[in-house]
Structure 1
Amino acid sequence: MDSARREAAVSRLERSCHTAFIHSNTLYVWGGHQVVAGQDVMLPSDEICLCDLDSGKWECKAITGDSPSDLSGFCGSNINSTLYIFGGCDSNGHSNQMFSVDVAQPCCSWTRVTETKGTTPSPRNQHSCWVHRGRLIYFGGYGCKTVGEVQNTSSSSFIVEEMSWATIGNTLFRCWGWNNEVCVFDTQSSTWSAPETRVRENMLDLCVN
Structure 2
Amino acid sequence: LPNDELWLYDLENGLWLHESLLFQLYSVDLQDERFSWRRVTLRSGSLPSPRDKLSCWVHEGRIIYFGGYGHKPLSAIHDPKSFIVDEASWAEDIFWGWNNEVQEFDPERSRWTEPQTFGRAPPPRAAHASASIGSKGYVCGGRIKETRTSDEFCLDLNSWTWSEIMTHTKTTLNDCIMEHQNKDKPRLWHTAYQGRDSDVVVFGGSHDYILLVDKGHCNDALTNAMYFHRLCQDFIASYAGMFQYQILCLPPKLRNAVQKRTIFFRPSTESQNVE
Give TM-score, length-normalised by structure 2.
Answer: 0.49
Partner residue in 1 for 2:136: 82
2:131 is paired with a residue whose SS is strand
1:141 aligned onto 2:205 = yes
Residue of structure 1 equivalent to 2:98: 42
- Which of 155, 177, 186 is the matching residue for 2:225? 186
Where does residue 52 of structure 2 map in the other structure? 16
Say which of 101, 123, 131 aligns to 2:194: 131
Q: Note the 1:106-185 alignment, pairs <5 A.
A: 108-114=160-166, 117-121=179-183, 122-133=185-196, 134-143=198-207, 177-185=216-224
* d(CA) in 1 for partners of 2:137, 2:71: 25
Q: How many residues align?
A: 153
Instruction: Give ranges in structure 2 of 5+ residues lacking alignment.
Output: 1-44, 73-90, 170-178, 235-262, 265-275
Letter in 2 for 1:186: A
Aligned mates of 1:178, 1:27 — CA distance in 2: 29
d(CA) in 2 for partners of 1:17, 1:125:
10
Q: Distance in 2 between matches of 1:138 and 1:180?
A: 10
Match of 1:57 in 2: 111
Of 94, 100, 103 in structure 1, the residue corresponding to residue 157 of structure 2 is: 103
Contact 2:130/2:193, CA 8 A, preserved across alignment: no
Q: Look up the match of 2:64.
A: 28
AA of the residue aligned to 1:67: A
Larger radius of gyration: 2
Per-residue deviation, 1:11: 6.8
Offset of residue 31 of structure 1: 1.0
How far apart are 1:90 and its partner, in Å?
A: 0.9
RMSD, aligned α-carbons: 2.9
The alpha-carbon deviation at position 82 of structure 1 amounts to: 0.8
Q: Distance in 2 between matches of 1:77 and 1:180?
A: 19
**How far does residue 177 in structure 1 lie from its aligned partner after superposition?**
4.4
Retained in 1: the 8 A contact 2:202–2:223?
yes
Matches within 5 A, 1:193-204: none
* Aligned-residue offset at 1:83: 1.0
The TM-score normalised by the length of structure 1 is 0.62
Deviations 1:25-50 (A, max 9, x none): 1111111122345753323x2x4211
The equivalent of 1:201 in structure 2 is none
Percent identity over paired residues: 19
Alignment of 1:63-74 (within 5 A): 63-74=117-128
Specify whether residues 11 and 24 from structure 1 end up closer, same or farther in structure 2 by C-alpha distance, changes over 3 A only. closer
Tell me the secondary structure at the aligned position of residue 124 of structure 1. coil
| Higher RCO (C-alpha 8 Å, min separation 6) | 1
Unaligned runs of 5+ in 1: 1-9, 145-160, 163-175, 194-206
Q: Which has the higher strand share?
A: 1
